[in-house]
Amino acid sequence: MNVDRAPGLSVRLKLTLSYAGFLMLAGALLLAAVWVFLLRYVPEVIHTPGLFIPNQSDLLRAFAPAATAVLVFLLMFGLLGGWLLAGSMLAPLTRITNATRRAADGSLSHRIELEGRRDEFRELADAFDTMLTRLEAHIAEQQRFAANASHELRTPLAISRTLLDVARNDPKRDTGELVERLHAVNARAIDLTEALLMLSRADQRSFTRGYVDLSLVAEEATETLLPLAERRGISLEASGDITPTIGSQALLLQMTTNLVHNAIVHNLPAQGAIWVSTSVHPGSVMLTVENTGKKLSPQLVPTLTEPFQRGTQRVRDDHAGVGLGLAIVKSITQAHDGTLTITPRPDGGLRITVALPAAPLTDPAGYSWPRSSPTR
């Protein structure tokens, strides 16, 4: 945003005038000290017939031109030296300003990389370089997300258009199968749109915070998804302690549901297992979701939280989701000032841990959380 301001003196000129002014003041104080502590002891009139001894008036006439010449020299020296010194000191600021202008024009790949020892300018330059790095990574991530979201949304729309074109070209075709396929495609598009909205809501942190028992959230999520696990022949166990935290009940339930759903979908084709547990630690509460499955390489695990990134060689079917499950989990965790840890199990599958700040055991309304809860 450009703001019209009245022209003023440059910082370099202000520093130059300040240096010269302080130098002139110091010189004037020094000359005044010479006058006060030396010349005042010289008598104003000295009577010495036949011998010339300068009195106070004589010394003042000799001292005044010399003092004036000294002050003029100090002024010129202060202006010249101050100008050069200010320019040398402000040179890093010029580099920072130029880098800021390039960033304002859209270039985020450059860095200041200021040399020298650590001082205020070096700290400012390093902070600016760090900001540029984060902005560049964030914008690149947003661009990838937009491209992937466009691709994912285009697929169901393209399928719908194809199905409609087929129905229009063949009016006598049975519409029952067409309606079912359109319904499935439309449902996927709706799920994807809702997932995108959920992700945006978590990223913007636009939600109301309140006291939440993470163990009850885990229990609700497991009970909701238990039928899906049973249909796949997967055992689902939940246990743990009361885990009070502060956040959004709806978002934390969505986060836990996504974790459990992901553990069900990406599991062994038969005889799989899932363990959901909550625990309390000093200053934090933890939700852990662990499942069996195929072995995953350590290089693949960090990419699982990227939007629309799905692990290779993992079970996929109609319940596989839209590729935003763990991305939403990561976003909700960060919005609640928590940390998300994903580690592959040696025998296959994943162990996912969400750590959130713990809430006091007594909320402002006076409700006291139970100290423990039975294993479910």
Q: Which residues contact 112 (CB under 8 A, 6 or more apart)?
A: 95, 96, 99, 125, 128, 129
- Distance CA(335)–CA(251), nearest Å, equals 10
Average pLDDT rounded to a whole number, residues 204-217: 83
Q: Residue 145 has what pLDDT?
A: 65
Residue 357 has pLDDT above 90, yes or no: yes
Of 116-130, 194-208, 329-343, the least confident? 194-208
272 CB neighbour count, 10 Å cutoff: 22
Residue of 95 and 317 predicted with greater confidence: 95
Q: Which two tokens stand for residue 274?
A: 């899932």
Going by C-alpha positions, the residue among 143, 138, 144, 136 that lies closest to residue 309 is 144
Q: What is the pLDDT of residues 252-267, one digit of tens each?
A: 988 898 899 889 988 9
Q: 254, 218 in Cβ contact below 8 A?
A: no
Q: Residue 213 has what pLDDT?
A: 92
For 176, counting Cβ atoms within 10 Å of its Cβ (0-12 exposed, 13-18 middle, 19+ buried), the class is exposed
Residue 298 has pLDDT above 90, yes or no: no
Q: 234, 274 in Cβ contact below 8 A?
A: yes
- Distance CA(211)–CA(314), nearest Å, equals 36
Quick one: three-class SS letters along 122-186?
HHHHHHHHHHHHHHHHHHHHHHHHHHHHHHHHHHHHHHHHHHHHHHHHCCCCCHHHHHHHHHHHH
CA distances 289 to 117, 129, 238, 347, 373, Å, are 48, 38, 9, 15, 18
Residue 367 has pLDDT above 60, yes or no: no
CA distances 237 to 234, 268, 277, Å, are 10, 16, 8
Residue 201 has pLDDT above 80, yes or no: no
368 secondary structure, DSSP code? B
Residues 291, 296, 297, 300, CA torsion sign: negative
Going by C-alpha positions, the residue among 241, 238, 213, 211 that lies closest to residue 224 is 238
Average pLDDT rounded to a whole number, residues 169-192: 74
Going by C-alpha positions, the residue among 289, 287, 303 that lies closest to residue 252 is 287
Residue 374 has pLDDT above 50, yes or no: no
Q: How confident is the model at residue 117 (pLDDT cuts 50, 70, 90)?
A: confident
Q: Which residues contact 360 (CB under 8 A, 6 or more apart)?
A: 244
Q: What is the pLDDT of residues 27-54, one digit of tens each?
A: 888 878 777 766 666 666 555 665 656 6
Residue of 208 and 256 predicted with greater confidence: 256
DSSP 253-292: HHHHHHHHHHHHHSS-SSS-EEEEEEEEETTEEEEEEEE-
- Distance CA(358)–CA(166), nearest Å, equals 57
Q: Which two tokens stand for residue 373?
A: 């809860």
- Percent of the chain scored above 70 by pLDDT? 75
Q: Residue 319 has what pLDDT?
A: 46
